C-alpha cells in the first residue's frame, strides 16, 4: 500500500528513484555534449509548493521572532520577517526545484503597519506580485474595506472607495497573482473570484497538473464590518471543497492543493514543524473532506505547524500546513506526482524561518541565531519598500507621548498590560458619552508597545499596535449582558479570548465550569457587578457589531460613536508627561 508521509521514503517512490539513478549512470556527469537519458515515463515529477499566510502588509521586518527548539531542551528566538528577506528565501527555495508554485492562505493585507496601510495596502499587493506569488485565498481581513475595494486590489485602478486617497505615490496596477474564493458567493450565487485554478508543469506524457482551490472561513461575517460585505454570503468550507475537487479532477488535475483561511493551534514547546495537540476550526473541516485533497495550506490563527491528518481514505492522508504570520516563516511543500497514474505518491513539508535582522523586544534584545538560515534582503524589494517607508515617515516618527516602559500583550487569551492600557485610553476618550467601563479584544492588539530608551512613543509605534482605525462605540448594557459578553470569550465556540477591562472592572475565569458559567468574581469598583444595573460601556466598532463572536454587544442601547481607537490611545499618552504602564492583574484566567 502506498501511504503519504512527511519526509519518509515509500516503496514505490524508492523504486522509481532507484530507476532514475540507474538511468543517470548511463551518461557521463558534467561533460560537454553529454547525451541525456530521458526520464522513465512513470518516474515521479517533483513539484514544490511554497506557501505562507497572514502577511498583513508587513513590508518591513516586524520586530518579532519565531521560537524554535534550541537542541538543548529549550527554545531559541529567531528574529524574522520583512518582504525583502522573504523574497530572498523564496528565491533560494525556487533555485532548488525545477518546478514550483507559490501560494498564500489569506489575510495578505489590512491590519497592516503604516507603510502599507497609509497607502491602502497598494504597496503590499505590488510587493507580493514582485515576489512571484501565483495564487492566494481571500482571508477575512481582505474584506476590511469592503467588497469593492477588494475587487480593486485585484483589478487595479485609482477609484476612491474609502476615506483615504488611492494611488498616492504611483498608479496602482492591481495584483499580478490571482485571488481564489470558492466559498465567497455574490448575490447571483457565483464566486466573487474564481473558485480554483490549474497550473501545468512539464510537457507530453510527463506533464503534471496541480489544481488549487482557494476559500475563506465561513465565519467571515462575524469578523468584519457587516456593511462592507452585505452583498456576499460565505458557504460551508468542506462542502465547497468537496464539490470543487471532482471539477478539478475532470480537468486533469493530478494533485489538489487547498488554500483556506482557517486554521488551528498546537500545544507544547515552540516548534515550527510540530503538530502536538492540534485543535481549532480547521479540524471539523478536515474530518468532512472527501478523498482527493492532497495538501491543505491553512492560516487565520497565526500559528505554525506541519501535520498529517487522516481523511476519508486512510491510505491517503491530507498534509496540513501553516506558516505563522507576517512573512516570518515559509512552508516548503514537496510533492512527487506519478504522471502515468495521475496521483501524488509522496508528500512532505517543512517550515523555514525567514531570519532577517536583530531587534529589541519588550523582553529584551533578540539577536541573530546560528540555528536558522540567514538571508540577505533582496535589494530591489528593499528599495521599493523603502520608498513607501520614507513617504510614511512624517506620520510614523511623530512623537505622541512618553511611556514608563514596554507594554506587552498578554499570553494566550489575555490582553496583558497593553490591553489594560488600551482599555483605559478608550474609557478616557469616551467619558463625555457617559462611559463607565471599556473593554478591548486582545486579538485586536497586533504588536507590543515598546518605547525608545528615553520613553518616547511615536505614532508609528501605536499604529503597529492598532492599525484598524476602528471608531469607538459607547452603549448601555446591563450587568447581566456584560457578564454574558465576557462568557462568550470562553464559550468553546471559538478561541478563548478574555476581554481586557478598564481600571475598576475585574473578573476571574474558571475553565472547570460549564460554558456560560465560567466568569466568576465579576466586580466593578470593588463591588459585585449588579445583573440588573445599567452601565455605559465602550468598545471598538468591530466588537459593537458582534465581531470575534461577541454577539451580545449587538444588543446595546443608546449607542454613541466616538473617536477612533488610535486617536484614543494617542490622547491618553498625551494626557500626562509620562504615562505609567498599568501592570495590575484585572483578569485571572485559571
Cell of 287: 474530518
Q: pLDDT tens-digit profile of 188-239?
A: 999 999 999 999 999 999 999 999 999 999 999 877 877 789 899 999 999 9
DSSP lists the bridge partners of residue 321 as 297, 306
Whether residue 99 contacts residue 201, with contact meaning beta carbons closer than 8 Å, is answered with yes
Domains of the chain: which residue ranges? 44-383, 399-589
pLDDT score at 225 = 75
Q: How far is the C-alpha of 76 from the C-alpha of 71, rounded, in Å? A: 9
Distance of CA 121 to the CA centre of its chain: 15
Whether residue 465 contacts residue 407, with contact meaning beta carbons closer than 8 Å, is answered with no
Provide the CATH number for the domain formed by 399-589 in this structure.
3.90.780.10
DSSP lists the bridge partners of residue 527 as 524
Q: What are phi and psi of 367, to 5 degrees?
A: -95, 165
Count other C-beta atoms under 10 Å from residue 48's C-beta.
18
Give every CB contact of residue 95 below 8 A, 6+ residues apart in sequence.
Answer: none
pTM of the model: 0.77
Q: How far is the C-alpha of 328 from the C-alpha of 323, rounded, in Å? A: 8
Q: Find where cell 518516474 sits.
A: 43
Check pLDDT > 80 for residue 553.
Answer: yes
- Strand residue runs (E) in 312-462: 318-323, 329-338, 343-353, 359-361, 364-366, 399-402, 437-440, 456-458
Cell of 76: 531559541
- Kindly tell me the sign of the dihedral angle through the C-alpha atoms of 239, 240, 241, 245: positive
Give every CB contact of residue 365 below 8 A, 6+ residues apart in sequence.
Answer: 358, 359
Q: pLDDT tens-digit profile of 23-32?
A: 333 333 333 3
Q: pLDDT tens-digit profile of 411-420?
A: 767 889 999 9
Which DSSP string corresponds to 520-589?
Answer: EEEEETTEEPPTT-EEEEEEEHHHHTTGGG-GGGGG-EEEEEEEEHHHHHHHHHHTSSSBPP--S--EEE
Cell of 94: 525556487
Q: pLDDT tens-digit profile of 352-375?
A: 999 999 998 878 899 999 999 999
* Order of strands across the sheet that contains 519-524: 527-528, 519-524, 505-509, 587-589
Q: What percent of the chain has pLDDT over 90?
A: 80
Q: How far is the C-alpha of 146 from the C-alpha of 153, rounded, in Å? A: 11
The band of 42, judged by pLDDT with boundaries at 50, 70 and 90, is low
Q: What is the mean pLDDT of residues 273-287?
A: 94
The CATH number of 44-383, from 3.60.21.10, 3.40.50.1100, 1.10.443.10, 3.40.50.10420, is: 3.60.21.10
Q: How far is the C-alpha of 354 from the C-alpha of 330, rounded, in Å? A: 7
Amino acid at each position: 500500500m502506498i501511504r503519504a508521509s512527511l519526509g519518509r521514503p515509500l516503496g514505490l517512490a524508492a523504486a522509481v528513484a532507484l530507476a532514475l539513478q540507474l538511468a543517470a549512470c548511463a551518461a557521463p556527469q558534467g561533460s560537454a555534449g553529454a547525451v541525456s537519458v530521458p526520464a522513465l515515463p512513470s518516474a515521479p515529477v517533483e513539484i514544490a509548493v511554497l506557501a505562507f499566510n497572514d502577511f498583513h502588509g508587513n513590508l518591513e521586518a516586524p520586530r518579532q521572532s519565531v521560537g524554535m527548539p534550541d537542541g538543548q531542551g529549550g527554545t531559541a528566538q529567531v528574529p524574522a520577517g520583512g518582504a525583502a528577506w522573504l523574497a530572498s528565501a523564496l528565491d533560494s527555495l525556487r533555485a532548488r526545484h525545477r518546478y514550483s508554485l507559490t501560494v498564500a492562505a489569506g489575510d495578505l493585507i489590512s491590519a497592516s503597519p503604516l507603510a502599507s496601510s497609509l497607502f491602502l495596502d497598494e504597496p503590499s499587493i505590488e510587493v507580493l506580485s514582485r515576489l512571484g506569488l501565483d495564487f492566494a485565498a481571500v482571508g477575512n481581513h481582505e474584506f476590511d474595506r469592503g467588497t469593492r475595494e477588494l475587487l480593486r486590489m485585484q483589478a487595479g485602478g485609482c477609484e476612491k472607495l474609502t476615506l483615504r486617497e488611492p494611488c498616492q505615490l504611483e498608479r496602482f496596477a492591481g495584483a499580478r497573482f490571482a485571488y481564489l474564493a470558492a466559498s465567497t458567493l455574490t448575490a447571483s450565487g457565483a464566486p466573487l473570484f474564481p473558485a480554483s485554478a490549474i497550473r501545468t508543469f512539464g510537457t507530453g506524457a510527463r506533464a503534471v497538473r496541480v489544481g488549487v482551490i482557494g476559500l475563506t472561513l465561513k465565519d467571515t461575517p462575524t469578523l468584519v464590518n457587516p456593511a462592507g460585505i452585505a452583498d456576499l454570503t460565505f458557504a460551508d468550507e468542506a462542502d465547497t471543497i468537496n464539490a470543487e475537487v471532482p471539477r478539478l479532477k475532470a480537468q486533469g488535475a493530478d494533485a489538489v492543493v487547498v488554500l483556506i483561511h482557517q486554521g488551528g493551534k498546537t500545544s507544547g514547546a515552540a516548534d515550527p514543524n510540530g503538530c502536538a495537540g492540534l485543535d481549532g476550526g480547521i479540524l471539523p473541516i478536515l474530518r468532512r473532506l472527501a478523498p482527493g485533497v492532497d495538501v491543505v495550506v491553512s492560516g487565520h490563527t497565526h500559528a505554525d505547524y506541519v501535520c498529517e491528518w487522516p481523511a476519508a481514505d486512510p491510505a491517503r492522508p491530507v498534509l496540513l500546513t501553516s506558516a505563522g504570520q507576517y512573512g516570518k516563516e515559509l512552508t516548503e511543500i514537496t510533492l512527487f506526482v506519478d504522471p502515468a497514474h495521475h496521483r501524488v505518491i509522496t508528500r512532505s513539508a517543512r517550515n523555514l524561518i525567514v531570519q532577517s535582522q536583530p531587534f529589541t523586544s519588550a523582553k529584551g534584545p533578540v539577536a541573530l541565531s546560528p540555528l536558522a538560515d540567514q538571508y540577505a534582503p533582496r535589494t530591489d524589494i528593499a528599495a521599493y519598500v523603502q520608498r513607501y517607508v520614507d513617504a510614511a515617515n512624517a506620520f510614523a516618527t511623530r512623537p505622541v507621548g512618553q511611556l514608563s516602559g514596554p507594554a506587552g500583550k498578554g499570553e494566550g487569551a489575555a490582553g496583558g498590560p497593553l490591553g489594560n492600557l488600551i482599555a483605559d485610553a478608550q474609557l478616557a476618550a469616551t467619558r463625555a458619552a457617559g462611559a463607565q467601563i471599556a473593554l478591548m479584544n486582545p486579538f485586536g492588539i497586533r504588536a507590543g508597545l515598546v518605547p525608545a530608551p528615553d520613553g518616547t512613543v511615536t505614532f508609528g509605534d501605536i499604529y503597529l499596535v492598532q492599525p484598524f482605525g476602528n471608531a469607538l462605540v459607547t452603549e448601555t448594557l446591563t450587568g447581566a449582558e456584560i457578564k454574558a459578553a465576557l462568557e462568550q470569550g470562553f464559550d468553546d465556540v471559538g478561541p478563548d479570548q478574555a476581554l481586557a477591562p478598564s481600571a475598576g472592572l475585574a473578573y476571574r475565569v474558571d475553565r472547570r465550569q460549564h460554558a456560560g458559567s465560567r466568569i466568576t468574581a465579576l466586580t466593578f469598583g470593588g463591588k459585585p457587578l449588579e445583573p440588573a444595573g445599567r452601565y455605559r460601556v465602550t468598545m471598538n466598532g468591530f466588537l459593537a457589531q458582534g465581531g470575534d463572536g461577541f454577539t451580545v454587544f449587538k444588543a446595546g442601547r443608546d449607542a454613541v460613536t466616538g473617536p477612533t481607537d488610535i486617536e484614543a490611545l494617542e490622547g491618553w499618552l498625551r494626557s500626562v508627561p509620562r504615562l505609567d504602564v498599568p501592570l495590575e492583574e484585572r483578569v485571572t484566567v485559571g
